[in-house]
């Protein structure tokens, strides 16, 4: 399989598009795509070759979703000096699994700063050729992404205020301000400071809303149940709803 075919195969997965978009929008971006049923056999070599050497304290990795070879990858990288850890926010690399829409020859590619790196010009060309020619077809795609590429891009734009289910206002997060709202149980005072919304005062009994962390990411909310009050951060959201 030539590289064009490989890229076409990978592009047919639903996961790549957002990853590529992310890789283009943020730096540093380093994403490794690996097709094959035995990612654990190749990941230590691949990651070492692209300049990721275990640090004295050990490179840390986690999994973005259940991976069929999770235990084997843990073992293989562990032997190479890597450390499994979580949550993902505390690790350098996150490995994810995605099934391909059709089987393809085992292969890999690397995207750095949004551009595909021609690995055939490096020492990995032998491995690339060997995987292509001797391993069975696979519909398993492993994606190894550098943690720095996984920062949120979800800063909200407005704090929408709902009282008893009805929208009563929207405060721009870009402008520092204080607003008072008459709710069913009394008054709720909302403050916007440095792009974050917070409840400054409320007439409710337990003040859970006032003790809530400031909200700034799209989808976040602060609720004052006694006052039937909801502050909801709106913006180019990436979630439909929230659990927890």
Partner 1 sequence: MSTLSRARTGFHLFILLLAVAAACRVKERWQEYTLFFFDTLCEVQIYGRETQVSAARDETRRIFTVIEDDFSPGRQDLTSSLVIELFQHSRQVYLNTGACFDITVGPLVELWGFPSRAYHVPDAEEVRAVLLFVGTDKIRLEKNRIVLQPGMKLDWGGIAKGWAVDLAARALRDMGITRGYINAGGDLFCWGPNPDGRDWRIGIKHPRQKGFLGILSLRDGGVATSGDYQRYFEKDGIRYHHIFNPASGYPARERQSVTAIGPQAMLCDALATALFVSPQPEAILKKYPEYGAVLVSSRGEVITMGKFPNPGAFQIGPAMDQR
Which are the contacts of 135, defined by CB distance < 8 A and separation ≥ 6?
A: 36, 37, 38, 105, 106
Q: Which of 101, 151, 176, 178 binds partner 1 (CB under 8 A)?
A: 151
**Binding positions for partner 1, 160-219, rule CB under 8 A:** 162, 165, 206, 213-214, 216-217, 219
- The smaller minimum CB distance to partner 1, of residues 68 and 136, is found at 68
Contacting partner 1 (CB under 8 A), which of 14, 57, 121, 123? 14
Where does this chain touch partner 1 (CB under 8 A) — which range of 80-88, 106-114, 169-177, 186-194? Answer: 80-88
Question: Looking at residue 96, what DSSP letter applies?
Answer: E
> Which residue from 156, 177, 154 is spatially nearest to 234, judged by alpha carbons?
156
> For residue 7, what is the enclosing H or E element?
helix 3-11
Contact of 214 with 176, CB cutoff 8 Å: no
CB of 66 to partner 1, least distance (A): 5
Determine the Cα–Cα distance for residues 203 and 227; give it in Å rounded to an integer. 8
- Residue 83 is a binding residue for partner 1 (CB under 8 A): no
Q: What is the 3-state secondary structure (H, E, C) of 77-91?
A: HHHCCCEECCCHHHC
Are the CB atoms for 233 and 219 separated by under 8 Å? Answer: yes
Token pair listed for 79:
């032997």
Nearest distance, CB of residue 176 and partner 1, angstroms: 19
Of the ranges 43-51, 120-128, 187-195, 225-233, which one interacts with partner 1 (CB under 8 A)?
A: 225-233
Q: Residue 120 phi/psi, 5° resolution? A: -70, -20
Nearer to partner 1, 127 or 209 (CB): 209
Which of 122, 221 has the CB closer to partner 1? Answer: 221
The string of DSSP letters for 119-134 reads GGGSTTHHHHHHHHHH
| E strand or H helix at 209 | helix 208-211
Under the binding rule (CB under 8 A), the answer on residue 87 touching partner 1 is: yes
Shortest Å, Cβ 242 to partner 1: 5
57 binds partner 1 (CB under 8 A): no
Candidate list 73, 77, 88, 192; residue touching partner 1; CB under 8 A: 88
Does residue 142 belong to the site contacting partner 1 (CB under 8 A)? no
Residues lying near partner 1 in the complex (CB under 8 A): 14-15, 18, 21-22, 62-68, 85-90, 94, 96-99, 150-154, 162, 165, 206, 213-214, 216-217, 219-221, 223, 225, 228, 230, 236-244
């Amino acid at each position: 399989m030539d590289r064009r075919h490989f890229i076409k195969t990978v592009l047919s997965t639903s996961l790549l598009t957002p990853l590529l978009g992310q890789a283009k929008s943020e730096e540093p971006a380093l994403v490794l795509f690996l097709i094959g049923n035995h990612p654990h056999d190749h990941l230590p070599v691949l990651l070492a070759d692209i300049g990721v050497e275990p640090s004295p304290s050990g490179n840390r990795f986690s999994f973005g979703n259940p991976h069929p070879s999770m235990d084997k990858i843990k073992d293989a990288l562990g032997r190479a000096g890597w450390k499994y850890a979580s949550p993902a926010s505390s690790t350098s690399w996150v490995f994810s699994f995605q099934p391909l829409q059709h089987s393809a020859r085992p292969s890999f590619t690397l995207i750095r700063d949004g551009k595909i790196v021609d690995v055939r010009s490096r020492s990995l060309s032998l491995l690339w050729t060997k995987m292509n020619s001797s391993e069975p077809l696979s519909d398993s795609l492993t994606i190894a992404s550098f943690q720095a590429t996984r920062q949120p891009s979800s800063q909200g734009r407005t704090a929408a205020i709902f009282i008893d289910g009805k929208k009563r206002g929207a405060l721009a997060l870009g402008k520092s301000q204080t607003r008072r709202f008459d709710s069913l149980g009394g008054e709720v005072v909302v403050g916007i400071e440095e792009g974050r919304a917070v409840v400054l005062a409320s007439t409710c009994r337990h003040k859970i809303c006032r003790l809530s962390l400031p909200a700034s990411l799209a989808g976040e909310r602060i609720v004052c149940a006694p006052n039937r009050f909801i502050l909801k951060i709106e913006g180019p959201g990436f979630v439909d709803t929230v659990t927890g």
